[in-house]
Every structure is written in C-alpha cells, then in structure tokens.
Structure 1
Amino acid sequence: MTAVQSPDSTATASLVAVRPTVSTDRLLADLVPPPHFADARFTTYRANPDHPSQAATLARLQEVAAEIAAPAPSGLRALLGRRRSVPAVYMDGGFGVGKTHLLTSLTHAVNEALGPGSAAYGTFVEYTNLVGALGFLPTVEALATRRLVCIDEFELDDPGDTVLMSRLLRELADRGVALAATSNTLPDALGEGRFAAEDFLREIQALAARFEVLRVDGDDYRHRAVVTDSEPLPVATVRSVVASTPGAVLDDFGDLLAHLATVHPSRYGALLDGVRLVGLTGFGPVTRQEVALRLVVLVDRLYDRDVPVLLAGVDGADQRALFTPEMLRGGYRKKYYRALSRLGALAQDGRALADV
C-alpha cells in the first residue's frame, strides 16, 4: 500500500505508509478536547443515581469552574495580599464511568467563561512530549499563560516521567495555574505494581499531596470487557467496505504493530489525520507488553477521533483474548481494560457501517 494524499485530504491507504511529523506549534494547538468530546458539557453528563459519587463529582467540578472564572482579588483584598485559591482536583475511577467527559466539560466551561485557550487539555503522553519538544522551562512558560491545565489518563509508566510531571505541575501551581487530572489509580498508588524505588515513591507522595481526590464510582457505560461479542469479520468484507469508504485505511495487524514501534506515541494522533475508518486483517492476541502498551495509545487516539474499526481475525484465534491473562492481572491492567472497552465500541461502530 502507498499513501494517497492531496491538499483536500490527508487520508491514506495504509497507516504503515505514514511517518507523521508534528511541529511544536501543533503540539500546543492540539491541547484541546478531542473530537469525541467536542460537545461534552456538564449539562450533558448523565450521573448514575445508583452511584452518588458521580453527581457529587459533577457538582464539585462546576464549583471548580466557577472558582477559576471568578475575578481576581482587587482593592483592599489585593492590598492585604489575599491570593486567589488555586484548585487541583484528581478524578479516580474505573474505565467507562465518564471521567474524560467530566474533564473535557471542565475544559470547555473555563474556555467559554474566560475565552478560547484559557484551559489546556491533553493526555499525559502529550504533556511529556511537549517538554521533550520545547524543553522544560519553555513548556512551563507556555502553560503558565493558561488558567487551567487538564491531564487525562494520568498513568505513569516510569520514574523519570513521574519526576518530570511532578516538577511541571509544581511550577504551574506555584504560578497560579489550576490543575485537573483523571486516572484509574489514586495518586498515591500510581506506579503500584510497576516500580518500588524510594525516590519514585517519594515523588508520587509529593504529587498526591497537591490534589483533592474525587472518587467516581460506577460501571463501564460501554458495557464491554472484551473487544467484541461478535465473530471476526471475513477478510473480503473488510476489504470491500474499506474500498468503498472515503478516508478508509487497510493494514495487516502485525505490520501495524511493528510500525507503531517506529513512531513516537505522541504522534499517533497525527498518524490518523484524515482517516475515517480503519480496517485490520490478521487481528489477534498481543503477547508482548511493550507492543500492547503502544496499541493502548493507538486505541485511545482512535476513540478520541471516533474512527470506526473493522476487525478480520486470524483463523482459529480468539480475538476477544487480545491481551494475555498475565497482562490483565499486572500493573497496567486498567489501561488494557480501558482499551478493550474502547475498541469494543469502535468495533461495533465498524460492524454497523459494514451492515453486519
């Protein structure tokens, strides 16, 4: 497959054919809620009455938005040195309970109250990559112009990133920037089951002390713990639907996984520019953890962009067993379950598009 690009479309015939580059200007411009959550607002969040923590978190975030948008102290209050309170909230809960919906709603609320660009939204990997591209101090300067910085998917994979993010958030908080984050793990338990170095744990504890923890209980609203409850699609069906769909791509699953190793995860969003449908043949289990973690990031970017997926499996393979039992019991298990949930939703969208 070769890339097919034009001034009117960046769609490609194959993801493997694409080697995206991302400018620093784009890295900053992309710190906005993804298309999937473009319409997310506090008013569109449906709190489950069976889980009161959802309504409580919604109410607290509405208060946070009002605090951030409130005018700065003036007159006597300013002369007395009373500073604006700087909120820092951390939403913890399982996958599919609406944490990202709430976080993007907070982002939209602040931008609508104070003007576009007042709040930044990005995933953990997007912020660490921004530091890599700009340098630490320029990143602090760029983000310090925002009133709110939101970090989604705060799941740390190595101590170096922990130290980096801890320093970044400390600098931003000291400059009066409000913070909000989501994760599937409480902040003082980040890294649990992965690293036990004393320095790492010390950074985790310092990071946790900065946040007000908001627990978001509930069940996965997508109601999927597997990739799909349906059988894999025939290869001929996948090829036919891809061929008749503008902006569709077709890749062998193994080839795509190998290609992901050559692209920085922060560029996976750019990899999908112009893509409207992804067809995968040879879809089957992933047995290596580093490969599985890259796949998780790709699934997140597909979900962000509402890109349906068509899956044609390997003969005899159970596509529902995408990750090994060991992976689903390990320190990254919540990432894997989130990916299964999201990929299940995208696969169902793909089957609806294929009318099967």
Structure 2
Amino acid sequence: MTSRELDPAFDALSEPVGQRIERHFDAQLEARGYRADAAQRTAIGRLGQWLESFLAGKSGWLRRPRAGLYLWGGVGRGKSFVMDAFFAAAPLVAKRRVHFHAFLQELQGRMRNFAGQPDPLALAARALAEETRLLCFDEFHVHDIGDAVLLGRLLKVLVEEGVGLVCTSNYHPDGLCPNPLYRERFKPAIALIEKRFEVLNLDGGEDYRQRRGVLEAWGSYCWPLSGFTDGWVDRQLGLTPAATRDVEVAVNHHPLRVRAMEGERAWLDFDELCRRPHSSADFLWLSQRFGRLAISGVPCLGEEAIDVQQRFVNLIDIAYDAGIRLLLASEASLDDLCRGKPHMDFSRTRSRLQQLEPVQPGQGSD
C-alpha cells in the first residue's frame, strides 16, 4: 500500500487504523443514540484489525491474507450501519461502497467497453481493481443464473488482484444461491468466500428497525386506497394540473406506462411495474429520474407468481438504496400484504416496508 493511496489527512503514527475505525463507530452510535450489541462490537473490531493488516500488507505464516470480511445475519441487525461506519473511517482514497443492483448494471456497462475482446468480464474486473483498493458491497445476494455467473467470476478476479472486500448479506455464504438449477455454477464462489474471507454472523436476535424512532420513515404506506378522496395521491405527490398523465415513456428501449409525472415526481401502478417484464435496470432508471414515487394497486404478495414477487423485491431494494421518497398504496394492510408464501428475500423487503409511515383515511389530509 503506497502513501498516495491513503487519505492525506491520516496519520498512522498518532492513531492506528483499528482505533480510528472504533472511534468513528462510537461517534456514530452516540450521534444516533444507539447502543451496539456484542456481535456488532466484534464485527467493527475485526474490520479494524483486518484493514490494518490489509494496509500494511501483512499475512499469516504460510497462508495468504484474508481477502476481506463477509458480514451476515437477519434483517435489521445493523450490518449496513457497521459497514457504513467502517467505510467512512477507512483511510483510503480509492474506496467504494456499492449496492447490488446498481453495481451489476455498472459491471455490465464496463463489460460492453471490452466487447469483442477475450473474456470481457475479467477485463472489466481488472479495470475496476485498478481504480479501487477497497470495495464495500451491501446486500449481497444471488437469485438468478446471470447474477451467479457474473458475481462468481468477479469475486475471483478481484481477490486475485488484491482488492479488499467487505460484504453484507442476509445469508450465510452456503445459503447465497439456494436454487438447485444453478447452484453448481456458484459453488466455487461460495468456496472462495469461505476460504479467503472472515465470515461473521451479526445475528444478535433483535431487528433494530422494529424499535420505534430508530430509523426515520422513508415514505408512507396507505390503505385502503379506495377510502381516500379523489385526488389524494396527486396532493400527496404535489402534482398540479400541469402534470403529464397516462403517458408511455421509453425506458431502456421499451415502454413504461406512467399514470402521472411532473418534475421529479411520478405515479405508477404495481401491475405496470411488476406484472410486466421490467428489469432492475428499469427500476434504476426510475430511481435516477425521480426523487418521489407513488405506487398504487399493490396486492397481497404471497399470492403472486415468483417473478412478480422478485420484481417487487428488486423495486423496493432499489428505491430504498436510492433514497426515494415512496408512497405505497394498497387495499390491504401491511400484515395482509405480507401473508402467504412470499419470496425468500421478503423478510428484508418487509422490514423496509415497516419503515414506511402507516396512513389510513381520516389521518391527516385526505
């Protein structure tokens, strides 16, 4: 690790890396009024120790150094909070924190730059390694063959190129790719994580998102929509008579029907977003184009086909990560919405939906 790769303001002699990481973590806890549990304390300590060794280029006797850490546990266990505190304090210039869907889209774009050359994925991964010494990957998960192939080979190249990696996930590495149809293709990546990463479980047994006041609501969940007065959604979004209504917009070369849009605000239907074959790239486009979204007609999800559920899971992940202000409207309560046999990732989605402020007719302006 050369001095130019380090933050110029960092003085390793006055404060070791591990101490810096823990000090920042404590400051973040205090600022938010949180208390860390034992698993989170262990994780931030191990992250600091690992980064200190990584920066110094140290490895154990007769073994390769750890490529990074893999933090896993149930929803709301503080994985992202721990990683955010670590990332902010890591004294590196070439560091990145990425979210799953946006990063995969970026990777595919990088691969297109090497089209026509042998192994575009390896070339794209090496180009990424030249720019990045520390990559923090939030919400790591694998549920289709395309992701399995891309992520498996990407991890291999990044580890070989010496990029430091920190991942958070709801799954133990062995549970990352449960679908037997393509699990064999991802087994080498699971073996790589288990061999080269330190795997830590942050499951302290409590979903901190369930504590009242721990996290600010990122939008509202409104039900039953039929109980609200005409024009209620328009008023909540701040749409005026000048709004464009019932229009098709071109998104990634195919149409997307929007009920209403004006400025950075848009209103769409669940059927359009999740029952039609829209991809995560389409949802990323929405998150980049609009800061406020209303989605109406959300059904009880456990009764929907798995592909419909997967789109909804992806949509909520992307909107949440992008900081979208979301208005979700349904005829069903949130408890009813989540009953049945939902998608395997729905525990994370439900936790995020529970961070929406519940609104019913008669509450506030309707």
**What's the TM-score once normalised by structure 2's chain length?**
0.68
Displacement of 1:178: 0.8
Q: Which has the larger radius of gyration?
A: 2
Displacement of 1:170: 1.7
Matched, 1:240 2:220: no
Larger strand share, 1 or 2? 2
- Contact kept, 8 Å, 1:65 with 1:109, in 2: the verdict is no
Aligned match of 2:283 = 268
Stretch of structure 1 that moved more, 287-296 or 156-165: 156-165
Matched, 1:278 2:293: yes
Matched, 1:299 2:316: yes
Matched, 1:342 2:328: no
Superposition pairs for residues 1-356 of structure 1, below 5 Å? Answer: 42=25, 43-45=27-29, 48=35, 51-68=37-54, 70=55, 85-110=65-90, 113-115=91-93, 118-135=94-111, 136-145=121-130, 146-192=132-178, 195=181, 198-218=184-204, 219-223=206-210, 231-233=223-225, 234=228, 236=230, 237-243=232-238, 247-258=264-275, 261-262=277-278, 264-286=279-301, 287-314=304-331, 317-323=332-338, 325-327=340-342, 332-333=343-344, 335-348=345-358
- Contact kept, 8 Å, 1:283 with 1:319, in 2: the verdict is no
Q: Which consecutive residues of structure 1, in runs of 5 or more, have no partner in the other structure?
A: 1-40
Give secondary structure in 1 for the equivalent of 2:337: coil
Stretch of structure 1 that moved more, 282-291 or 236-245: 236-245
Q: Which consecutive residues of structure 2, in runs of 5 or more, have no partner in the other structure?
A: 1-23, 112-120, 212-218, 241-262
Displacement of 1:274: 4.8
Count of residues in correspondence between the two structures = 292
Summarize the Cα distance change of 1:336–1:163 in structure 2 as closer, same or farther, 3 Å threshold.
same
Q: What is the rounded CA distance, in whole Å, between the counterparts of 1:172 and 1:195 in structure 2?
A: 26
Q: Deviations over 1:292-338 (max 9, x none)?
A: 11111211122123333223323xx44533345222xxxx42x2111
Q: Deviations over 1:245-285 (max 9, x none)?
A: 973322222223245x23x3145233123533222332322
Q: What is the rounded CA distance, in whole Å, between the counterparts of 1:101 and 1:266 in structure 2?
A: 26
**What's the TM-score once normalised by structure 1's chain length?**
0.69
Give secondary structure in 1 for the equivalent of 2:224: coil
Give secondary structure in 2 for the equivalent of 1:250: strand
- Contact kept, 8 Å, 1:308 with 1:349, in 2: the verdict is no
Summarize the Cα distance change of 1:182–1:240 in structure 2 as closer, same or farther, 3 Å threshold.
same
Displacement of 1:210: 2.2
Give secondary structure in 2 for the equivalent of 1:114: coil
Q: CA RMSD in A?
A: 3.6
Structure 1 counterpart of 2:161, one-letter code: R
Give secondary structure in 1 for the equivalent of 2:210: coil
- Contact kept, 8 Å, 2:294 with 2:327, in 1: the verdict is yes
Q: Deviations over 1:60-85 (max 9, x none)?
A: 223334344x3568xxx9xxxx9994
Structure 2 counterpart of 1:44, one-letter code: Q
- Identity in percent: 28
